[in-house]
C-alpha cells in the first residue's frame, strides 16, 4: 500500500472510530472524549462532546483531562533517566535513598526496591489516599504515614496494584534531584518532550480548556464529580492533567529511540526496552509488568499499556512497538472505562488486525462454584461473591476513601454475573464491569486467600 493510500485509509478508519465514540458516549452518558491515534508517522486527533455539563466548552485535542495512573509511567520514565545517569538503581534498597523509611513490616522496609514499586509487588495496602496538604513537604509527610498500612502479602510475593508505592517513588525523585516532585518531572520528561500543556496543579489547569469529571453510573444524566483535584501527595501516582496532543508526544517518545523531537537524547533505546521487558508475572490478561508498563501479547505481537482513573475522569494509553502504532483515549465520566474497552478493542482490530479470542465459558457444578463464595475486601471496596441458581454473582460495594481517605462512597453497589473461564478464573458478564477478568488465588495450603479482579487482589475475609 502506497503512502498516500495508507494516509487515506487511516483517515477513513479514524472517521469510523469517531462514529463509534459518539455512539458510546451517548449510550454510556460520557460528556466528553479526546482521542489520538499514531500510525507509523501519522497523527490523528479529535475531540468530542463537552468539558462539563454545567458550563460546557467543546472538547478538542488540546483540552486537559486528568490522566490518572497513566502518570505512573511518567514517574517511572523520570526515574529511568536517573538510573541511566547512575544516580539511581532499580535493585537497590529504598533505604539507600530514604534511610529513615518505615513500613509496618521491617523486613519489607529493609529490602523494598524501586523495582518492587514499579511492578506493584510491595505487598502492603495500596489504595491509600491521604491528603497531607499543598506544601512542598506533601510527599515527605505522606511517606511518613505509610507505616500505618498493613502488609497484606510478603514483599515480592503477589502482583496487586499499589498506588501508595508511587508515593515512595516520587519521594525518591525529590531526594535525589533536590527538587519537588512536579519540578523534577517537568525538567526530566515534560519539557524535553514538548508536553507544554501538561500540568499538575489546579491553578495551572484553570487557565486552559479543561475537562471536569462526572458521575454517571446509576444516573440518567451525568453530574459533576467534586472535588476536581487529587491531593498533592498523590501526584506521583496519578496527578497529571494532559491533552490528547501531549499524550501522543509522550507515545511517540516511547515508540522511538529515546530522543526528544529536537533530537536530544533522553533515554537509550536499551532503557526503553528495559521498561517494556517483563520483570514479574501478572494476571487477568496482563501477562507481566515491566518498569510501570503492563504487558501482554495478542498472538505474537506485544501490546504495552497503562490506564488511569481519578474522580470521574479516565484515560487509556497503549502502543504496539513493532507496528509503530499507539493511541490515547481521555474521558470525563466514571463510565469512561467501558468506552475505552470498546474503542481500543475496535482500534486494535481495524488498524492492526489484532484481536483477542474470547475465552469460552465453562459450566461448572454448583459445589465447585461454592468454593469461591465469600467476602473479599480492600480499604476502598468490598467484593461479595455468591452462588445463585447455579452461577456466580458479584456485588461490588464502594467503601469510600477516594479521592481522599475520608471521602464517602460515590457510587451505588454494582451487581453483575461472573462466568467461569478456567480453574479459578472468571470473566464479568454484565456492564458496567463487562469483560473484566478475575481469578481466585490460593494460599500455600490450597485455601482461597484472594480474589484478584482486574489489577487488584482483594484478601478474603474470614466469616
| Catalytic positions | 69
Q: Which three cell numbers stand for residue 170?
A: 516520587
Strands (E) in 155-231, as ranges, are 214-215, 223-224
Q: How far apart are CA 314 and CA 434, in angstroms?
A: 17
313: left (phi over 0), alpha (psi -120 to 50) or beta: beta
Length of the chain: 463
Q: How far apart are CA 71 and CA 357, in angstroms?
A: 30
Output DSSP code: residue 322: G
439: which strand partners?
Answer: 425, 452
Nearest to 116 by CA among 174, 165, 149: 165
Place of cell 483517515: 11
**Helix intervals (H) in 40-101:** 71-84
Output DSSP code: residue 259: B
Q: How far apart are CA 119 and CA 121, in angstroms?
A: 6
Output DSSP code: residue 112: -
User: SS3 of 86, please?
Assistant: coil
**Phi then psi for 460, rounded to 5 degrees?**
-75, 135
Amino acid at each position: 500500500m502506497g503512502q498516500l493510500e495508507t494516509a487515506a485509509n487511516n483517515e477513513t478508519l479514524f472517521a469510523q472510530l469517531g462514529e463509534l465514540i459518539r455512539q458510546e458516549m451517548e449510550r454510556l452518558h460520557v460528556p466528553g472524549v479526546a482521542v489520538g491515534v499514531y500510525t507509523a508517522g501519522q497523527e490523528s486527533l479529535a475531540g468530542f462532546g463537552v468539558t462539563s455539563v454545567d458550563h460546557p466548552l467543546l472538547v478538542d485535542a488540546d483540552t486537559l483531562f486528568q490522566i490518572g495512573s497513566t502518570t505512573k509511567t511518567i514517574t517511572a520514565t523520570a526515574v529511568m533517566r536517573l538510573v541511566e545517569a547512575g544516580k539511581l538503581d532499580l535493585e537497590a534498597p529504598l533505604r539507600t535513598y530514604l534511610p529513615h523509611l518505615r513500613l509496618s513490616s521491617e523486613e519489607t522496609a529493609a529490602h523494598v526496591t524501586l523495582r518492587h514499586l514499579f511492578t506493584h509487588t510491595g505487598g502492603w495496602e495500596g489504595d491509600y489516599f491521604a491528603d497531607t496538604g499543598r506544601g512542598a513537604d506533601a510527599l515527605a509527610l505522606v511517606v511518613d504515614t505509610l507505616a500505618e498500612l498493613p502488609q497484606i502479602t510478603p514483599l515480592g510475593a503477589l502482583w496487586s496494584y499499589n498506588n501508595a508505592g508511587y508515593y515512595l517513588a516520587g519521594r525518591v525523585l525529590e531526594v535525589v534531584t533536590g527538587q519537588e516532585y512536579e519540578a523534577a518531572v517537568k525538567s526530566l520528561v515534560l519539557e524535553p518532550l514538548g508536553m507544554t500543556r501538561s500540568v499538575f496543579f489546579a491553578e495551572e489547569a484553570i487557565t486552559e480548556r479543561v475537562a471536569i469529571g462526572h458521575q454517571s453510573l446509576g444516573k440518567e444524566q451525568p453530574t459533576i464529580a467534586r472535588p476536581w483535584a487529587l491531593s498533592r501527595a498523590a501526584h506521583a501516582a496519578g496527578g497529571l492533567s494532559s491533552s490528547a496532543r501531549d499524550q501522543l508526544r509522550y507515545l511517540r517518545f516511547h515508540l522511538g529511540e529515546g530522543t526528544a523531537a529536537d533530537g536530544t537524547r533522553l533515554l537509550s533505546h536499551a532503557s526503553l526496552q528495559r521498561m517494556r521487558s517483563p520483570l514479574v508475572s501478572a494476571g487477568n490478561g496482563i501477562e507481566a509488568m515491566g518498569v510501570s508498563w503492563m504487558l501482554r501479547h495478542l498472538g505474537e505481537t506485544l501490546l504495552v499499556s497503562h490506564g488511569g482513573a481519578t474522580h470521574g475522569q479516565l484515560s487509556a494509553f497503549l502502543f504496539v512497538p513493532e507496528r509503530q502504532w499507539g493511541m490515547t483515549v481521555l474521558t470525563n465520566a466514571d463510565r469512561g472505562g467501558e468506552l475505552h474497552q470498546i474503542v481500543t478493542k475496535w482500534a486494535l482490530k481495524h488498524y492492526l488486525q489484532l484481536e483477542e479470542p474470547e475465552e469460552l465459558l465453562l459450566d461448572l457444578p454448583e459445589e465447585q462454584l461454592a468454593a469461591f463464595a465469600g467476602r473479599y475486601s480492600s480499604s476502598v471496596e468490598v467484593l461479595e461473591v455468591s452462588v445463585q441458581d447455579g452461577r456466580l454473582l458479584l456485588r461490588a460495594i464502594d467503601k469510600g476513601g477516594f479521592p481522599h481517605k475520608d471521602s464517602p462512597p460515590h457510587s451505588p453497589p454494582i451487581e453483575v454475573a461472573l462466568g467461569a473461564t478456567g480453574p479459578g478464573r472468571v470473566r464479568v458478564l454484565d456492564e458496567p464491569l463487562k469483560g473484566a477478568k478475575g481469578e481466585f488465588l490460593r494460599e500455600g495450603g490450597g485455601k482461597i486467600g484472594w480474589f484478584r479482579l482486574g489489577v487488584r487482589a482483594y484478601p478474603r475475609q474470614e466469616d
